[in-house]
């Protein structure tokens, strides 16, 4: 089949437009956390405590990259105990032990830009959650 120069230019423009649209869809999907973007690729976000805990517990759902989302994970715990997830509005981690009234030893990501285990106050905790048995982490 032979195309006229006009038809070739039309086909080239359609190809360029398609490439631009595909790029925009990819960028939007990557920004929105869409699982269709590069299967197996899960870049660490700027605020990454929730992302770290997802990887520790093997949770695939990217909604849990947000610390606050962990307030609905697993089942309710009555308070701090070893293995319980402690949720603050902007931070999340796993309780290693209870060091005293109002204080816990917590393992978490993005604590001083690193994964650390240290004593923290329980002030401001919005939820205590037990992970389910399939994802339970030994502190």
pLDDT digits (tens, 9 = 90+) for 81-135: 999 999 999 999 999 999 999 999 999 999 988 999 999 999 999 999 999 865 5
Model-level pTM? 0.67
49-130 fold: endopeptidase fold (from Nostoc punctiforme) (3.90.1720)
E strands, the chain, in order: 75-76, 85-88, 91-100, 103-108, 116-121, 127-130
Residue 102, helix vs strand vs coil: coil
Asked whether residue 29 carries a pLDDT value surpassing 90, the answer given is: no
Highest mean pLDDT among 10-14, 67-71, 110-114: 67-71
Mean pLDDT, all residues of the chain: 81
Q: Which range among 31-40, 62-71, 73-82, 120-129 shows the weakest confidence by mean pLDDT?
A: 31-40
Length of the chain: 139
């Amino acid at each position: 089949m032979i195309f006229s120069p006009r038809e070739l230019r039309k086909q080239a423009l359609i190809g360029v437009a398609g490439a631009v649209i595909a790029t925009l869809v990819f960028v939007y999907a990557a920004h929105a956390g869409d699982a269709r973007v590069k299967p197996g690729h899960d870049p660490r976000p700027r605020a990454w405590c929730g992302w770290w805990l997802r990887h520790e517990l093997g949770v695939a759902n990217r909604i849990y990259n947000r610390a606050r989302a962990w307030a609905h994970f697993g089942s309710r715990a009555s308070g701090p105990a070893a293995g319980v997830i402690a949720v603050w509005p902007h931070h999340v981690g796993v309780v290693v032990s209870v060091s005293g009234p109002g204080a816990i030893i917590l393992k978490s990501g993005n604590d001083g830009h690193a994964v650390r285990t240290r004593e923290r106050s329980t002030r401001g905790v919005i939820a205590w959650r037990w992970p389910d048995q399939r994802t339970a982490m030994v502190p």
